[in-house]
Chain A
């Protein structure tokens, strides 16, 4: 796990760096907004910790740059106690969490663990259900044969696999997979469910998606 730490107070930067390294993280410490931005665009990180008040560029400016480049790396903001507006604009700009200074190192480490865990669970790697393996790196779905999925097919199936044997209604899927995009309707969900059904059959899987057009869908194991 690799973390970018942007904090201009040298002593605090040093303390956090050592604490994170002690927990086994690899840390790139930087001391102003420009450096933070340059590093964020040059390297891949599992987490970025940004102080808001920094020379050259504020943490929020850096955050906006990162997000406008479509990066979804989790970001933890460090804010001063009084800056309520900063916290709000930080979260609105795409921060995942914030921590108010002064903070206990214990709490910082717990938040870092929580945020990197989320990525490990839902992000890359492989998801399995029944005879299915869904590979996040290749968008490949494998049972007896394999087939490639489109982005939306992948996200829809990922959501179904993360909630196996549970009814997921069309509204939830529209929100979770399509972010409530204005051109997405219950027919869109139905068509993508139909694509996935065809693709499950084509790889000879015994996993089925139950449910009717406009209603709820359920991923389940149903050998023929």
Chain B
């Protein structure tokens, strides 16, 4: 007997929301590129959470493994990660997605302004699309994405068990150094824009 998907027959709706959000981000990219000559987005990833991870998450959260849990209680069945060039682009994309017709922001966490103690920086937002599908959007710059990806690759928590204090401290130092470069690059870009504006006047 074939096991039924935890998503029931809702997979096509999830796909549709995922594709719509991706198309919207593409539209924004083109508009900004035409206007300012710069693509605000470096790359963009999207996924529907796999059957296994969704069931695992239900168990972890103490929820029954039902379609109701997967679609209504857990909010990242649809997940989109937007990696931007500059810090200001994170907020540009955030504002654009939040103002789309039919999209409502139900939760957001700014871990860029308020970094996690380990140095993690990213902007998290849950959108409710057309009142029936939730999507989790993660927005961050290339440097922030670099840190998050490399930190994930290290898997030091499992191999080292204890004694991770120095490693955690050093990883946080790397995050703070990358954040510093991010702010400097943003400042340089703002300065270039200002010089261009002064010239055009």
A→B interface (CB under 8 Å): 138, 140, 144-150, 191, 194-195, 197-199, 202, 204
Q: Is the CB of B113 within 8 A of A204?
A: yes
| New contact pairs (6) apart from A148-B177, A191-B191, A195-B183, CB-CB < 8 Å | A140-B173, A145-B115, A147-B176, A148-B176, A194-B187, A195-B187
B→A interface (CB under 8 Å): 87, 112-115, 172-173, 176-177, 179-180, 182-184, 186-188, 190-191
Give the docked Cα–Cα distance between A202 and B191 (Å): 18
Cross-chain pairs A/B with CB under 8 angstroms, 16 sampled: A140-B176, A145-B115, A146-B115, A147-B179, A148-B176, A148-B179, A149-B180, A150-B184, A191-B187, A191-B191, A195-B183, A195-B187, A198-B184, A202-B113, A202-B183, A204-B113
Q: Is the CB of B187 within 8 A of A198?
A: yes
- Dominant SS among interface residues on chain B: helix
Which of the listed residues A138, A140, A194, A204 has the most CB atoms from chain B within 10 Å of its own CB? A194
Give the docked Cα–Cα distance between A166 and B19 (Å): 55
- The A/B interface has a contact count, at CB < 8 Å, of 47
User: With contacts A202-B179, A204-B113 known, is A148 near B173, CB below 8 A?
Assistant: yes
Give the docked Cα–Cα distance between A173 and B179 (Å): 25
Contacts of A150 in B (CB 8 A): 180, 184
Contact of B186 among A138, A144, A198 (CB under 8 A): A198
Q: How far is the CB of A171 from chain B (nearest CB, A)?
A: 21
Contacts of A204 in B (CB 8 A): 113-114
Give the docked Cα–Cα distance between A146 and B176 (Å): 6
Q: How far is the CB of A149 from chain B (nearest CB, A)?
A: 7
Contact of A194 among B172, B180, B191 (CB under 8 A): B191
Which of the listed residues B115, B173, B190 has the most CB atoms from chain A within 10 Å of its own CB? B115
Contacts of A191 in B (CB 8 A): 187-188, 191
Q: Is the CB of B114 within 8 A of A195?
A: no
Give the docked Cα–Cα distance between A150 and B185 (Å): 13
Contacts of B187 in A (CB 8 A): 191, 194-195, 197-198
Give the docked Cα–Cα distance between A191 and B188 (Å): 8
Give the docked Cα–Cα distance between A14 and B115 (Å): 56
Contacts of A147 in B (CB 8 A): 176, 179-180, 183
Give the docked Cα–Cα distance between A42 and B183 (Å): 39
Which residue of the partner chain A has the closest CB to B188?
Answer: A191
Q: How far is the CB of B140 from chain A (nearest CB, A)?
A: 14
